[in-house]
Chains A and B, each alone.
Chain A
Amino acid sequence: MSMEQVLREKAKELLSSGKVKVVIGYGEGSIPIKSTPIFVKTPEQADCLVLNPTCTNNLTVYLPQAVKSGPVAVVAKPCEVKNIVELVKENQIKREDVTVIAVSTPGILNDAALAEFDLLDVKKISWKADGVAVTTSQGDTVIPRDAAFQKKCLSCTAAQPAIADIKIGDWAERAPLQDKFADVEEYEKLSAEEKRAFWAGQFSKCIRCYACRQACPGCYCNECFVDKNGQIWASKDTGAESNWFFHMTRMMHTAGRCTGCGECERACPMGIPLSLMGKKMSLLVKELFGTQPGESMEDAPVFGCYQTNDPDPCPE
Chain B
Amino acid sequence: MEAKVIAKQDISAWLSSLAEKMEVLAPVEDGGVIRYRPLGEGEMNLNFSGPAKSLRDHFTPETETLFRYKYEGLKAELEESPAEEHDRLIFGARACDAAALKYVDAVYSMVEPRDEPYFARRERTTIVGLFCNNPAWSCFCTEVGNFLTNPQEMDAGLTDIGDKYYAEAYTAKGEELLSAAQFEPAGAEDAAAVEKVKQKALSRLPAKGAHEEACLSYNWDSPIFPELAEKCLGCGVCAYSCPTCHCFDIQECAQGKKGSRFRCWDTCQFEKFTLMGHGHNPRPSKKERTRQRVFHKFKYSIERYKMLGCVGCGRCISACPVNIDIHAVVAELEKPAPASEGVNNE
Instruction: Identify the A interface with B (CB < 8 A).
Output: 29-31, 33-39, 57, 61-62, 112, 119-120, 202, 205, 207-211, 213-215, 227, 229-230, 232, 235-239, 263, 266-267, 269-273
- Report the Cα distance A297→B307, complex, angstroms: 56
Contacts A235-B251, A238-B264, A266-B321 given; does A211 touch B236 at CB 8 Å? yes
Cα separation A61 to B233 with both chains bound (whole Å): 9
Minimum CB–CB distance from B323 to chain A (whole Å) comes to 4
Q: Are A214 and B236 in contact (CB under 8 A)?
A: yes
Q: Is B136 positioned at the interface, with any CB of A under 8 Å from its CB? A: yes
Return chain B residues, CB-CB under 8 Å to A237. Answer: 63, 251, 253, 262, 264
Partner of A208, one of B62, B323, B325: B62
Q: Is the CB of A39 within 8 A of B231?
A: yes
30 A-B pairs with CB atoms under 8 Å apart are A30-B323, A33-B137, A35-B323, A36-B323, A38-B231, A62-B230, A62-B231, A120-B204, A205-B33, A207-B57, A208-B265, A209-B235, A209-B267, A210-B235, A210-B236, A210-B270, A211-B237, A214-B233, A214-B236, A227-B271, A227-B272, A236-B249, A236-B251, A238-B265, A267-B235, A269-B53, A269-B240, A269-B319, A271-B30, A272-B31
- On whether the beta carbons of A36 and B231 are closer than 8 Å, the reply is yes
Inter-chain pairs besides A236-B249, A269-B237, A269-B240, 18 sampled, C-beta below 8 Å: A29-B325, A30-B327, A33-B137, A37-B230, A37-B231, A119-B136, A120-B204, A207-B265, A213-B235, A236-B251, A237-B251, A237-B253, A266-B321, A267-B233, A269-B33, A269-B241, A270-B31, A272-B31
B322 at the interface (CB under 8 A from A): yes
**Complex: how many Å from CA A273 to CA B33?**
12
Chain A contacts for B57, CB-based, 8 A: 207
Q: Please name all residues of chain B whose beta carbon is closer than 8 Å to the beta carbon of A34 when the two chains form the complex.
A: 323
Q: Write the nearest CB–CB distance from A185 to chain B, whole angstroms.
A: 20
Distance in angstroms between the alpha carbons of A29 and B328 in the assembled complex: 10
Asked if B252 lies at the interface with its beta carbon under 8 angstroms from chain A, I say yes
Interface of B, secondary structure class, is: mixed
Provided the pairs A30-B317, A205-B31, A230-B251 are in contact, do residues A37 and B322 lie with their beta carbons within 8 angstroms?
yes
Bound Cα distance A263, B239 (Å): 19
- A23–chain B nearest beta-carbon distance, Å: 12
* Whole-angstrom distance between the Cβ of B64 and the nearest chain A Cβ: 9
Q: How far is the CB of B33 from chain A (nearest CB, A)?
A: 4
Instruction: Produce 1/0 per residue, B294-305, CB < 8 A to A.
Output: 000000000000
Q: Is B192 an interface residue (CB 8 A)?
A: no
Which residues of B are found within 8 Å of A271, using beta-carbon distances?
30-33
Q: Determine how close the nearest CB of chain A comes to the CB of B254; give it in whole angstroms.
A: 6
* Nearest-CB residue, chain A, relative to B233: A214
Is A29 touching B33 in the complex (CB atoms < 8 A)?
no
- Please determine whether A112 and B233 come into contact, CB atoms closer than 8 angstroms: no
Partner of A30, one of B53, B230, B265, B328: B328
Tell me how far the C-beta of A123 lies from the nearest C-beta in chain B, rounded to whole angstroms. Answer: 13
Interchain residue pairs A-B with the least CB separation, the first 8? A271-B31, A211-B235, A214-B235, A30-B325, A36-B323, A271-B33, A119-B137, A237-B63
A236 to B63, CA, bound (A): 9
Report if B211 contacts A (CB, 8 A): no
By the criterion CB–CB under 8 Å, are B272 and A120 in contact? no
Report chain B residues within 8 Å CB of A272.
31
In whole angstroms, how far apart are the Cα atoms of A246 and B52 in the complex?
26
Q: Closest chain B residue to A65 by CB distance?
A: B230
- A219: min CB distance to chain B, Å: 10
CB of A291 to closest CB in B, whole Å: 28
Q: Check B233 against A211 for contact (C-beta < 8 Å).
A: yes
User: Is B117 an interface residue when CB atoms closer than 8 A count as contact?
Assistant: no
List residues of chain B with CB within 8 A of the CB of A30.
Answer: 317, 323, 325, 327-328
B313 to chain A, nearest CB (A): 13
Q: Does B234 make an interface contact (CB < 8 A)? A: yes
Contacts of A230 in B (CB 8 A): 251-252
Which of chain B's residues 263-317 have a Cβ closer than 8 Å to chain A?
264-265, 267, 270-272, 317
Contact A238 B63 (CB under 8 A): yes
Judge if B68 is at the interface, Cβ distance under 8 Å: no
